Amino acid sequence: IQNNDFEWPHLPFSFMAENMVFMMVTAMLKNFYLYLVRHISDKVKPLKKTSRVKAFILHFVSVPAKWVRTGR
């Protein structure tokens, strides 16, 4: 997490070992997200291969949650 990529002024933990685990998990999640978006973007029109997490959450979390809430 160099160059302030997540707009954090510092890493979240005090000890380097904990920060190392955090950075590794973050990198694995990013790779999984990019893989997922690459495959889903072919089938879903509003989602592009270059979409960020905010657009992904809008289409796959917020909208279905709104449908569930209004369907009650």
Q: Cα(44)–Cα(64) distance, rounded to whole angstroms?
A: 14
pLDDT of residue 39: 87
| pLDDT on residue 3 | 54
- Per-residue confidence (pLDDT) for residue 72, from 0 to 100: 59
Task: Please give the torsion angle defined by the CA atoms of residues 22, 11, 59 and 31, in that order, rounded to the nearest 10 degrees.
Answer: -40
Residue 22 is predicted with a pLDDT of: 86
The pTM of the full predicted model, rounded to 2 decimals, is: 0.62
Q: How do residues 12-66 score in pLDDT, each as one tens digit?
A: 888 888 888 888 998 899 899 889 888 888 887 777 888 777 877 777 777 777 7
pLDDT of residue 58: 78
- Measure the N-to-C terminal CA separation of the chain; round to a whole number of Å: 42
